[in-house]
Amino acid sequence: MGCIQSFRQCCDQPKNTNVRISLPAVCFVWQLAMIILFGFFIRYNAESDVHWKQENKNISRSDIENDFYFRYPSFQDVHVMIFVGFGFLMTFLKRYSFGAVGFNLLIAAFGLQWALLMQGWFHSLDPMDGKIKIGVESMINADFCVASCLIAYGAVLGKVSPVQLMVMTLFGVTLYAVEEYIILNLIHARDAGGSMVIHTFGAYYGLSISWMLYRPNLDKRLNGSVYHSDVFAMIGTLFLWMFWPSFNSAISYHGDGQHRAAINTYLSLAATVLTTVAISSLSQKAGKLDMVIHLTFTTTSVGTAAEFMLMPYGSLIVGFCCGIISTLGYIYLTPFMEKYLKIQDTCGIHNLHAMPGVIGGIVGAITAAAASEGVYGKEGLKTVFDFTGKWENMLPTQQGGHQAAGLCVALCFGIGGGILVGCVLRLPIWGDAPDDHCFDDELYWEVPEDEESIPPILEYDNHIRNQAG
């Protein structure tokens, strides 16, 4: 800890928020690097290649069986969650809407390109020609990967520069791809909705970075909402809430897998709303509700287990518990974390993603371990848990253990990776805001004049009335 403290002091120099050289440089160079790497590595997969149609005729397959038609509607919903959902969820700060939506778009646009490469190298490298073959499923996976970085952004919202965010995303995507490969391929855990690989990893990655970037003298005057900014945030909240069923079913297996994942998520989210409202009302004097707590609506713990036979009542129970725990987290844990653990969590991602992610992982492990041939059928077990190839003889109880192991890996990567990247981001070269100018769009954006300065509307009505009369 002493070493960390001294490193901190060494980094605490006067801040210069001018990013006129660093930001364009990072954007240009990295985008050029993407173009070159895409040129070497990335090609269309069989279903998006022009030869598909020809091949189709040969085997008399219908055009509609292209994976595009199974997944594209879900992809677009996920896309909306990434850009509108996460973007507008973070507009609740009174003077940071530009940064919330704008930087969200910037890092997501970079992150998805890098994710296509990283995930491609690990998952879909064609051994024949050494190329990565992409299709609609790759696009969904890239969006998923980006989601973990946007979750992490929530913890440091308003306290970092766009250059820091780009660096955070570069490392975040890299760590994600490695962690995902270990959890899904090496450990053979299942994680349809990404409770472990996306939420747990992303949240602890962000919290660790926030811990490393702790600002003891943070000025909190702008760290709050106004009436209209809360309504904007509700746009983000709702689009996240509504589209979780698409998120969790987007890469489930075709047919009943996607169908069941959507149902489970739909039910779980409904239950979450009721318990969130209950706890929120109980916790306040006079039973008033708190809009900030209501961002918790976006919480889902039916991630890992989404495509399992969780049963409708099981989904409700998960949602019920998740709503209680997340809301209590908002009320008791966030202040505790800030005061004693030195973690400043702007959006409360510990409640929104970290705890639900861990719960989701545990639910997944239990549900997997409890899976029986009676419920799933012999074939069902194979399909749902992918007991094929070298995993052919695996038992559900073993699978439960592997799920738990996967959760631990996600935690380690999140915390470990966050601390390392946090060290890098403390260097005084990234143009981040001084303590008394955090949460202020003024630093990185040309902010238009204030509303009060709208010129008084001229008395035009009289003029018209005279003409009409």
Contacts (CB under 8 A) with its own copies, residues 333-392? 375-377, 379-380, 383-384
The answer to whether 65 contacts its own copies (rule: CB under 8 A) is: yes
Cβ atoms 444, 19 nearer than 8 A: yes
The answer to whether 135 contacts its own copies (rule: CB under 8 A) is: yes
Q: Which residues contact 43 (CB under 8 A, 6 or more apart)?
A: 49, 131, 132, 133, 134
Q: Which of 6, 10, 185, 282 binds its own copies (CB under 8 A)?
A: 282
Instruction: Using the minimum distance from each CB to its own copies, give the nearer residue, 342 or 373.
Output: 373
Residue 191 DSSP SS3: coil
Cβ atoms 304, 405 nearer than 8 A: no
Q: Which of 187, 311, 369, 408 binds its own copies (CB under 8 A)?
A: 311
**Least separation, in Å, of the C-beta of 326 and its own copies?**
15
**Least separation, in Å, of the C-beta of 348 and its own copies?**
15
The answer to whether 76 contacts its own copies (rule: CB under 8 A) is: yes
Q: Which of 273, 405, 415, 424 binds its own copies (CB under 8 A)?
A: 273
Spell out, one character per residue from 196 to 225, where the chain touches its own copies: x when CB under 8 A holds, - when not.
-------------------------xx-xx
Cβ atoms 210, 379 nearer than 8 A: no
Residues listed for the chain: 469
* Alpha helical stretches, state H, 2-135: 2-11, 22-41, 52-58, 67-80, 86-89, 97-123
Instruction: Using the minimum distance from each CB to its own copies, give the nearer residue, 341 or 427.
Output: 427
Q: Residue 289: left if φ>0, alpha if ψ -120 to 50, beta else—which one?
A: beta
Instruction: Using the minimum distance from each CB to its own copies, give the nearer residue, 10 or 270.
Output: 270
Q: Which of 10, 12, 73, 397 binds its own copies (CB under 8 A)?
A: 73
> Total number of residues binding its own copies (CB under 8 A)?
161
The answer to whether 118 contacts its own copies (rule: CB under 8 A) is: no
Cβ atoms 204, 176 nearer than 8 A: no
Residue 148 pairs with which residues in a beta bridge? none
Q: Which of 243, 247, 330, 387 binds its own copies (CB under 8 A)?
A: 243
**Least separation, in Å, of the C-beta of 387 and its own copies?**
13
Max CA-CA distance within the chain? 89
Instruction: Using the minimum distance from each CB to its own copies, give the nearer residue, 354 or 443.
Output: 443
The answer to whether 258 contacts its own copies (rule: CB under 8 A) is: yes
For its own copies, the binding residues in 136-175 under the rule CB under 8 A are 136, 139, 162
4, burial (CB in 10 Å: exposed 0-12, middle 13-18, buried 19+): middle
Residue 97 DSSP SS3: helix
Q: Which residues contact 288 (CB under 8 A, 6 or more apart)?
A: 281
- What's the rounded Cα separation, in Å, for the pair 446 and 460? 32
Instruction: Using the minimum distance from each CB to its own copies, give the nearer residue, 1 or 468.
Output: 468
The answer to whether 331 contacts its own copies (rule: CB under 8 A) is: no
For its own copies, the binding residues in 11-40 under the rule CB under 8 A are 16-24, 27-28, 30-32, 34-36, 38-39
Instruction: Using the minimum distance from each CB to its own copies, give the nearer residue, 128 or 464.
Output: 464
Instruction: Using the minimum distance from each CB to its own copies, give the nearer residue, 95 or 190.
Output: 95
For its own copies, the binding residues in 433-452 under the rule CB under 8 A are 436-437, 440, 442-451
The answer to whether 110 contacts its own copies (rule: CB under 8 A) is: yes
Residue 133 pairs with which residues in a beta bridge? 43
- How far CA 40 is from CA of 37, 110, 132, 171, in Å, comes to 5, 18, 9, 22
Q: Which residues contact 410 (CB under 8 A, 6 or more apart)?
A: 179, 183, 196, 197, 200, 201, 204, 357, 361
Q: Which of 6, 255, 342, 370 binds its own copies (CB under 8 A)?
A: 255
For its own copies, the binding residues in 409-438 under the rule CB under 8 A are 436-437
Instruction: Using the minimum distance from each CB to its own copies, give the nearer residue, 204 or 266.
Output: 266
**Least separation, in Å, of the C-beta of 456 and its own copies?**
10
Stretch that binds its own copies, among 181-189, 228-236, 387-395, 408-416 (CB under 8 A): 228-236
Q: Among residues 155, 164, 106, which one has the least CA distance to residue 428?
A: 164
The answer to whether 53 contacts its own copies (rule: CB under 8 A) is: yes
